[in-house]
Amino acid sequence: MNVQWYPGHMAKAKRTLEENLKLVNIVIELCDARLPYSSRNPAIDGIIGKKPRVLVFNKADLADQAQSDYWMDYYKKQGFTVVFTDAKQGDGVKKVIAAVKKAMEEKVSRSLERGRIATTLYAMVVGIPNVGKSSFVNKVAGKATAKTGDKPGVTRDKQWLNMGEDIYLLDTPGLLWPRIDNQLAALRLAASGAVKDEVVDTGELCAFLLTFIDSHYPGALEARYGITVPDASGEERDYVTETVIGAERLEKGLAILEACGKARGCLIKGGSVDLGRAAALVLDDFRAGKIGKISLDFPEVLDEEIDISIKNEEAATRKKEKQAERRQNYRSRKNAKR
Ligand code: G4P
């Protein structure tokens, strides 16, 4: 679905990022609080390497607090410094500064021990599209005491923003590509706005989103649209084991979308529902938090998906091994005939 991310685009983004990474001591990895797993770039660890990092989950104002608490704990247990922010309002930005400082404490005190006086830190923000990178940088710029120009030697063509506390932020955030290894993660990313709507089937996307909300946030759609959620498939509210959206789920999701469209007057001549308009309206509502504070990465759903993808990987490896074995046998037989 992420057709705009060709391997060439990824390679270019990676190269630019790697060049800028050389200029900084620490990375602020910006992710979406509604998608604490799906909005992380899978190659990020390899790209950043051992550089210190603060993991920031932005758009926390749109996320479900109970889920955010779970993920905060999850990543802290993995040793990450974690902060939740709302870059639109500026909430949490100060905490990021404190976290950057804390993450660098050791390095700073080591360099002081060695007799160096300069303890200026350089940081940069990285993240997938639409996660709030520019908003974050702009908030910092708004707070910045001075916009410093060129830093002689290293950073002649770069702008650095003074975050305070002797920490400077590169004003150009690093762009990462979204996950493309998992179909359902791609749908979640599309729902969040990380993937352009033009390259997505918005009807299918809404079917996915609406059935998810119906399953995990019962009553939310009824409250927002004043509808009775139609249960087209008669299935119970559980799609946990799906790896791609199935026909029944699609049917039910489209029926809910139709009900939402009808309730909002998205009609075409003849009185039938304009599903395209209805989908745009539902997506706008979701992205603005109007359906409620909704998170899309439920751990139990992900466990299932990750489990399935591991099984798929194992099956693919077994298949490759069998093919290699067959090729080897064929060669041996051929050699034996000679
Ligand atoms: P990017 O640089 O990573 O691509 O993201 P950008 O800052 O452009 O933000 C993408 C959209 O997300 C913007 O909305 C922005 O206002 C919104 N946004 C960023 N951070 C937050 C946040 O913490 N909470 C909420 N609720 N929204 C956030 P937009 O509709 O594209 O633009 P605008 O009209 O709001 O400016």
Q: Is 139 in the pocket of ligand 1 (CB under 6 A)?
A: no
Question: Which residue has a Cα nearest atom 33 of ligand 1?
Answer: 88
Between the CA of 143 and the centroid of ligand 1 the distance, in Å, is 18
- Alpha-helical (H) ranges within 114-182 are 133-143
Say what the pTM is: 0.85
195 lines ligand 1 (CB under 6 A): no
Q: 3-34, pLDDT tens digit by residue?
A: 467 778 888 889 999 999 999 999 999 999 99
Q: Does 134 contact ligand 1 (Cβ within 6 A)?
A: yes
Tell me which of 135, 172, 283, 291 to substitute to probe ligand 1's pocket, judged by most ligand atoms within 8 Å of the beta carbon.
Answer: 135
- How far does the centroid of ligand 1 lie from the alpha carbon of residue 41, in Å? 19
Task: Identify the residue whose C-alpha is closest to ligand 1 atom 4.
Answer: 130
Mean pLDDT in residue range 187-215:
90
Ligand 1 atom with the smallest distance to the CA of 86 is 23
How many CA atoms lie less than 13 Å away from 182 in the CB half-sphere?
Answer: 27
Measured from the Cβ of residue 71, the count of other Cβ atoms closer than 10 Å reads: 22
Domains annotated for the chain, with CATH where assigned, are 7-175 (3.40.50.300), 201-287 (1.10.1580.10)
Q: Does the pLDDT of residue 117 top 80, yes or no?
A: no
Distance CA 314, CA 198 (A): 34
Angle between helices 202-216 and 247-263 (to 10 degrees): 90
Interval 138-172: pLDDT, tens: 998 876 544 444 444 444 567 899 888 889 999 89
**Contact assessment for residue 224 and residue 264, using Cβ atoms and an 8 Å cutoff:** no
CA 147 to chain centre: 30
Q: Greater confidence, 313 or 128?
A: 128
The two tokens of residue 198 are 């033009």
Nearest CA residue ID for atom 16, ligand 1 = 88
**pLDDT tens digits, 279-293:** 999 999 999 999 999
88 lines ligand 1 (CB under 6 A): yes
For the Cβ of 132 lying below 6 angstroms from any atom of ligand 1, the answer is: yes
Asked whether residue 1 carries a pLDDT value surpassing 60, the answer given is: no
Mutate to test the pocket of ligand 1, among 39, 40, 88, 196 (most ligand atoms within 8 A of CB): 88
Chain segment 230-265, per-residue pLDDT in tens: 764 445 444 555 556 788 888 999 999 999 999 999
Residue 59 CA: nearest ligand 1 atom is 23
DSSP one-letter code for 229: P
